[in-house]
Structures are given as C-alpha cells and as structure tokens.
Amino acid sequence: MERVNKMVAEKPVVIFSKSSCCISHSIKSLFCDFGVNPAVYELDEIPRGGEIEQTLLRLGCNQEVPAVFISGEFVGGANEIMSLHVRQSLKPMLKRAGALWV
C-alpha cells in the first residue's frame, strides 16, 4: 500500500495500466488529448506489478486497470473517467489538480 501511495503522489495524474489493454490505451489517449502528461505505470512491464494490482483491488478498483488517480485520490477506472468526461466534470477536476492549464 505504501508503494502505491508514493507512486500516486508523484504527479497530479497517475494511471495504472497494462500495455496490452485497449481500454487502458483509450484512457491514456484521452488524457494526452487534453494535454495532460500523466505518470503511467504499465503493470505488466514493471517489477512487482502483480503486487500493485492486488493493492489496487484492495483500494476499491473494480478491475485492475486502468486505475486513475487524480491529486493522489483514486477516481476510478474507464467507466468513471468516461462518465466524468461526458458530464464535463473531468477537465475542471484536472484543472484543480494542476494537470491542465487551459
């Protein structure tokens, strides 16, 4: 848990992903299209990625990836992020986090 807490504190937006997951790719692309430069951790490519997956599940992630943290807080997976985007709540959240300047 401590390791994940340190990772999510590194940048305003942190995404835990898997390199082979098309849904994760879509979420990463959405943030990049906004001009956000998130910290992205590909759990299938980093040491002890499986342990991090288990920690994410304990934190309330319904699925392991994608798991998005904004301002150090778990926001959710793809469904939650897309819902925020459709409701036009995602960009203001990113602005408050200091991840978006426009």
Q: How many CA atoms lie within 13 A of 41 on its CB side?
A: 26
Average pLDDT for 38-61: 92
> What local confidence, expressed as pLDDT, does residue 60 receive?
78
DSSP string for residues in 10-56: SSSEEEEE-TT-HHHHHHHHHHHHTT---EEEETTTSTTHHHHHHHH
102 pLDDT band, cuts 50/70/90, is low
> What local confidence, expressed as pLDDT, does residue 86 receive?
98
Indicate if the pLDDT at residue 52 is higher than 80: yes
- Give the pLDDT confidence of 3-36 residue by residue, as tens digits: 999 999 999 999 999 999 999 999 999 999 999 9
Average pLDDT for 85-90: 98
Indicate if the pLDDT at residue 64 is higher than 80: no
Indicate if the pLDDT at residue 81 is higher than 80: yes
Question: Of the ranges 41-45, 62-66, 84-88, which one carries the lowest mean pLDDT score?
Answer: 62-66
Structure tokens at 3: 């390791």
